[in-house]
Amino acid sequence: MFMNKYIESETLELKAAYTDSSVRDIVAFLNASGGTLYFGIADDGTIKGVQKIDETLRKIADIVSSQIEPNPADLIRARIIYEESKPIIEVTVSKGFFPIYCVKKYGFSQAGCPIRIGSSCKEMTPTQIQVRYQKRFESSKDYMTAIPAKYGDISFNTLQIALSNQGYHINKHAFEINYNLRNKDNDYNLLAELLSDQNMISLIIVKFRGKDKSSISERTDLGRTSLITAYYNMKNRLIAENICMSDTTIRPRKDTYLYDIDAVDEALINALVHNDWSISEPLVSMFDDRLEILSLGGLPYKQTREQFLKGISIPRNSTLMRIFQDLDIAEHTGHGIPKILQRYGEEVFDITDNYIKVVIPFDPLVRSNHGNINGNISDNIIGYMNQELTVAEQAVLELLVFNPKATQAEAAAKVGVSKRTISRIFASLQERGYVTREGSNKTGIWKVVKS
C-alpha cells in the first residue's frame, strides 16, 4: 500500500511550484512556530520536482532579502534534496525572533500579517496585530542580543582598545557578559557582530546631483568594520564635506559653514544608537540643498513624538547606547535632540512608524557661493578637466572645489594614492596654475583658478 511521506500540517506546506503567494507561507511560519516548505511536491504529496531550480532559488532569496519585515535572513535556510530522483527545494523557517512579521508590500495590516493555523494561512485580527506590534520594541534584548551573528570567529580589538583609552580595564570573559555580546545559546549575537572587527554591515553616504534621487554622484561605504570605527569614518567624512565660507573683510574673521556639524553629529549618533538593525542599516544622503540622515524602526516602544522632541531618552538598543556612553561618544542626558531643535527647529524631523528622518538644510549663502554641491561642477571647473590632467589630478581639483580646506592627507585618502604622490600632484597643479594657496599652510585654503 502506498504511504504518503509528505502531508501538510501546522509545520509543513507543500508547493507544486513557486508562486507569488509563497511569501505569505513563509511569513505565516515566522509568526507561528516555524515550519518547512517543499517546492516540487503537490498538495496530495505527489512528487513533481522543480523544473527551474536556479530561478526558484533566486525568487526565494528575493523573498528573504526584500519582501519581509523585519528581515528574517538568519531564520530561513534553503537546500536541494531529491525524491524519486527529482529535485525538491526544502525551505526551513524557524520561529521568528520578533512577535510579528509582515509581507512588506502590505505592511502591518491584515493582508500583510498571516499566521499558520493548522495546515493553512490565516490573517491575524487587528487586535492580534496591535498587541504583537506593541511588543516588538519593548526591549532591545528581544532582538539585538537574541539574533545570532552571521559568523562565530570574531574579535573586538577596536572596541577593547577604545574602552582601554577611556580607562576601562578589559577582562575578556567579563567584557562579553557586561556588554551582552552572547545570546542564550552562548553564541555571539547581532550586537557582537556590529561591534566586532569583522563586521560586514555597510554604512553608506550617498551623494545625489540635484534635489532628488534621480542621479547619483557618489556612493561611499564607510562601514564593513567595527561600528565604532564606522561612526568615526562617517563623522570625519561629514566634517570634510562641510564647506566653509570665510569673510575676511571683518575682524574677527567670520566663518559660515554649509551645515552645523555639531547638530549633524548628534543626528548621526541618534541614528546609529536607535536604529532597528534587524531591518537595515541607517543611511546618510546628500543633495544639492540638504543632508538627510535616515534610521529605521520609528520611535522606540511607548515613546511619543512629544517626548522625543523634548529630549526624553528611551534608547531602543540600551547596551549599544551604554557602549557609546562609555566611549564618551554619546550622553544619556537627551541633549542631542534639543541641540538639533535649537539650530534647525522641529520641521527637520520626519517621524513615522517605520523610520525617523532628520533633514538638515544647507546654508543658502554658502550654497550660492559654491554652486551645486554634489557633482554638478560649474562650467569654469569643467574647463580644467581636460586631457592635460591625469585622473588623479582631476580628482584632486574636484575635491578642492567642494572642500577648499582639504589637507593633502585627506586628498590622498580620497584619491587613493600615497602621501608622496599627492604632494607631487599638488606641486604640479600649483606650478601649472590650476590652484593657488591662500593663507598659511596651517589655516589657509586652496583656490581653483583658471590656467
Measured distance CA(47)–CA(83) in Å, rounded: 7
Strand, helix or coil for residue 29: helix
Q: Within 10 A of 128 (CB to CB), how many other CB atoms are there?
A: 16
Measured distance CA(444)–CA(404) in Å, rounded: 9
pLDDT at position 140: 44
pLDDT at position 1: 40
pTM of the shown model = 0.65
pLDDT at position 373: 52
Pick the CATH number of 137-373 from 3.40.50.2000, 1.10.357.10, 3.30.565.60, 3.40.50.12140: 3.30.565.60
DSSP 226-254: -HHHHHHHHHHHHHHH--EEEETTSSS-E
Task: Give the closest residue to 420 by CA, choosing from 409, 405, 436, 410.
Answer: 409
Would you give the DSSP letter of residue 299?
A: S
Task: Name, in order, each residue with C-beta under 8 angstroms of 407's C-beta and a sequence gap of 6 or more.
Answer: none
- Residue spans in the chain of domains classed CATH 3.30.950.30: 12-136
pLDDT digits (tens, 9 = 90+) for 55-77: 999 999 999 988 998 888 888 99
Cell numbers at 65, concatenated: 532579502
- Residue spans in the chain of domains classed CATH 1.10.10.10: 377-448
H or E element: which one contains 132? helix 126-135
Strand, helix or coil for residue 182: strand
- Residue spans in the chain of domains classed CATH 3.30.565.60: 137-373
Measured distance CA(228)–CA(197) in Å, rounded: 10
Would you give the DSSP letter of residue 349?
A: E
Task: Give the closest residue to 286 by CA, choosing from 204, 382, 355.
Answer: 204
Query: 196-222 burial string, b = 16+ CB within 10 Å, else e?
Result: bebbebebebbbbbbeeeeeebeeeeb
pLDDT in single tens digits along all 451 residues of the chain: 445 789 999 999 999 999 999 999 999 999 999 999 999 999 999 999 999 999 999 999 999 988 998 888 888 999 999 999 999 999 999 998 889 999 999 988 999 999 999 999 999 999 999 888 877 655 444 578 888 898 888 999 999 999 999 899 888 778 999 999 998 889 999 999 999 999 999 999 999 999 999 999 999 999 999 999 999 999 989 988 898 887 767 778 788 899 999 999 999 999 999 998 988 899 999 999 999 999 998 887 678 888 888 888 777 888 899 999 999 998 766 678 889 999 999 999 999 888 999 999 999 988 877 655 554 433 333 333 334 567 677 778 878 877 888 888 888 888 777 888 888 889 888 888 888 888 887 778 888 874 3
Task: Name, in order, each residue with C-beta under 8 angstroms of 304's C-beta and a sequence gap of 6 or more.
Answer: none
Residues 332 and 375: beta-carbon distance below 8 Å: no
pLDDT at position 384: 35
Measured distance CA(395)–CA(381) in Å, rounded: 12
**Domain 12-136 classification at class level:** alpha beta
Q: Is 377-448 CATH 1.20.120.790?
A: no
Task: Give the closest residue to 321 by CA, choosing from 268, 265, 274.
Answer: 274
Strand, helix or coil for residue 145: coil
pLDDT at position 295: 95
At what angle are helices 261-274 and 318-326 packed, to 10 degrees? Answer: 140
